């Protein structure tokens, strides 16, 4: 099995009163999640935590990763877990009308040996740094991203646009909950970043890549990213999970 080192950090930022983001790192399942909740009062917090917990327990119910279970089936498992989480949030809203409108974005990485699956809904993102190449692995489900794709806005205009927070898909939201799934190959030396938009609206991709490339611990990278987002204004909750793939682990063979 690959040896993997991961760390996460979530911060309320400089202008919000509550932190509606959350993250989860499960080294046994090799599951990593970032969620960014939305809803009135403190219900965003409820939605993001509920969704993350539901995904973790659904993946756990399928057992630990094994070579036999690698590949597409693990990706399908992650998508199925998102669907379970969606139903869980909708169920809570049905039981308590005060919760109407609560929902959450979600981005998850489920690692196998030498491969992984990235699933997401909304505008929380996954990036990968592989040697010199820093790559965005997800496409935001936002109105501004649609404008970029259509050629009406540049990436930089989208990053600071007043409507940048309008998501077109969310877990727990109304309408269809469609998950984007992306299989990835995994190599020693890869660094993956999962983050909420509180990071990516404050910092450019170049700035994020600089932090991710530093020769420091994953915990230090997380602290640096959160510090940078807050130094830039910290307009939103900011959450990061950094996963460093270090190579074969002989003890897990
Ligand atoms: Ca946010």
* Confidence band of 72 (pLDDT split at 50, 70, 90): low
Of residues 13 and 39, more confidently modeled: 13
Query: Token pair for residue 129?
Result: 């740094």
User: Quick check: helix, strand or coil at residue 112?
Assistant: coil
Q: How far is the CA of 97 from the centre of ligand 1 (A)?
A: 23
Report the alpha-carbon angle 181-118-245, nearest 5: 155
Q: How far is the CA of 222 from the centre of ligand 1 (A)?
A: 17
Q: How far is the CA of 148 from the centre of ligand 1 (A)?
A: 20
Backbone torsions φ then ψ of 252, nearest 5 degrees: -105, 10
Report the alpha-carbon angle 203-204-207, nearest 5: 80
Residue 70: pLDDT above 60? Answer: no
Residue 228: pLDDT above 90? Answer: yes
Helix and strand totals (H; E) in the chain: 7, 10
Q: How far is the CA of 231 from the centre of ligand 1 (A)?
A: 17
Task: Please check whether residue 107 is in contact with residue 243, taking contact to mean a CB–CB distance below 8 angstroms.
Answer: no
- As a whole number, the mean pLDDT across the chain is 92
Residue 67: pLDDT above 60? Answer: no
Residue 69: pLDDT above 80? Answer: no
Neighbouring C-alpha atoms within 13 Å toward the C-beta of 194: 30
CA nearest neighbour of 93 among 152, 58, 50, 136? 50
Task: Please check whether residue 66 is in contact with residue 73, taking contact to mean a CB–CB distance below 8 angstroms.
Answer: no
Total residues found in the chain within this entry: 253
pLDDT for residue 157? 93
233 vs 11: CA distance, rounded Å:
13
- From residue 153, alpha-carbon distances to 80, 112, 146, 190 in Å are 34, 37, 9, 31
Of residues 58 and 252, more confidently modeled: 58
pLDDT for residue 40? 73
Q: How far is the CA of 199 from the centre of ligand 1 (A)?
A: 8
Q: How far is the CA of 38 from the centre of ligand 1 (A)?
A: 8
CA nearest neighbour of 243 among 194, 197, 204? 194
The DSSP bridge partners found for residue 8 are 241
pLDDT for residue 62? 86
Q: How far is the CA of 174 from the centre of ligand 1 (A)?
A: 19
Q: How far is the CA of 13 from the centre of ligand 1 (A)?
A: 10
CB-based contacts of 106: which residues, under 8 Å, 6+ apart? Answer: 33, 34, 35, 51, 52, 55, 82, 85, 119, 120, 121, 122, 124, 171
pLDDT for residue 253? 47
pLDDT for residue 161? 93
Summarize pLDDT for 133-167 with one digit per residue, the tens. Answer: 999 999 999 999 999 999 999 999 998 899 988 99
């Amino acid at each position: 099995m690959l040896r993997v080192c991961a760390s996460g950090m979530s911060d309320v930022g400089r202008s919000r009163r509550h932190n509606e983001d959350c993250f989860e790192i499960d080294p046994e399942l090799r599951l990593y999640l970032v969620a960014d909740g939305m809803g009135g009062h403190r219900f965003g917090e409820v939605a993001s935590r509920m969704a993350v917990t539901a995904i973790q327990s659904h993946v756990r119910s399928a057992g630990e990763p094994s070579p036999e279970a690698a590949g597409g089936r693990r990706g399908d498992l992650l998508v199925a877990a998102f669907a379970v989480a969606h139903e869980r949030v909708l169920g809570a809203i049905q039981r308590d009308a005060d919760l109407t409108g609560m929902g959450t974005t979600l981005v998850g990485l489920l690692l196998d040996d030498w491969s992984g699956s990235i699933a997401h809904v909304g505008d929380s993102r996954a990036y990968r740094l592989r040697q010199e190449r820093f790559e965005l692995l997800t496409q935001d489900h936002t109105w501004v991203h649609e404008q970029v794709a259509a050629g009406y806005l540049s990436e930089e205009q989208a990053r600071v646009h007043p409507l940048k927070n309008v998501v077109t898909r969310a877990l727990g939201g109304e309408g269809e909950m469609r998950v984007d799934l992306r299989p990835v190959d995994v190599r020693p030396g890869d660094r993956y970043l999962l983050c909420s938009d509180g990071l990516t609206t404050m910092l450019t991709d170049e700035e994020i890549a600089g932090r991710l490339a530093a020769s420091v611990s994953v915990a230090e990278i997380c602290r640096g990213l959160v510090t940078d987002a807050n130094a830039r204004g910290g307009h939103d909750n900011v959450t990061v999970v950094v996963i460093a793939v270090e190579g074969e682990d002989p003890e897990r063979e």
